[in-house]
Amino acid sequence: MATQDIMTKTTGNAPVPRSTSQAERRGSRRCKINQLMRIRPSDPEKDHFEDLRGSTSVSRSGVAFQTSEVSYEIGMRLFVTMPYSRDPSAINREYLAEVVRLEALPNGLNSVGIKLLMEMGMQHSYSFNPPPSRK
């Protein structure tokens, strides 16, 4: 039975090539997917913000994105709705996540890496209230 060592990225006896400049810490492969997300702080003590951003890369356990929002901090817990849509029939999934990487970019934006900690459940955008009556 082949086992994978996440730290050294080997499967059985065949090593997977990696850059020698920096050790790869990701446990799963990334896909360059642009998926709309709604991001909010989960801590009520933090200043509230709502950031609607597209992802730059997604893996099974994390997401990277770029933002102009300056309130992100390493270790900050977030509610992340992904994929996000305002369509009344959309079924959005919400996750609890943690900021694990912050990097200032030359274009003035910040690159943020988050680790998905757990799925909170599905978020529906529809309402059970009847639509307002027209007169």
Instruction: For 38-64, write each residue's pLDDT tens digit.
Output: 999 999 888 899 999 999 988 888 999
pLDDT at 42: 93
- State the pTM of this model: 0.67
Question: Of 58, 112, 61, 101, whose CA–CA distance to 83 is shortest?
Answer: 58
What's residue 25's pLDDT?
58
Contact present, 28 and 61 (Cβ < 8 Å) = yes
Q: What is the pLDDT of residue 107?
A: 94
Domains of the chain: 28-124 (2.40.10.220)
The count of other CB atoms within 10 Å of the CB of residue 20 is 6
pLDDT at 65: 95
Mean pLDDT across the chain, nearest whole number?
78
The confidence band for 16, taking pLDDT boundaries of 50, 70 and 90, is very low
Among 100, 98, 92, smallest CA distance to 121 is for: 92
Instruction: Give the span between the Cα atoms of 45 and 71, in whole angstroms.
Output: 13
Of 117 and 22, which is predicted with more confidence? 117
Looking at residue 130, its pLDDT comes to 56
SS (H, E, C) the chain: CCCEECCCCEECCEECCCCCCCCCCCCCCCECCCCEEEEEECCCCCCCCCEEEEEEEECCCEEEEEECCCCCCCCCEEEEECCCCCCCCCEEEEEEEEEEEEEECCCCCEEEEEEEEEEEEEEECCCCCCCCCCC
Give the pLDDT score at 88.
Answer: 79
- CA dist 50 and 36 (Å) reads 13
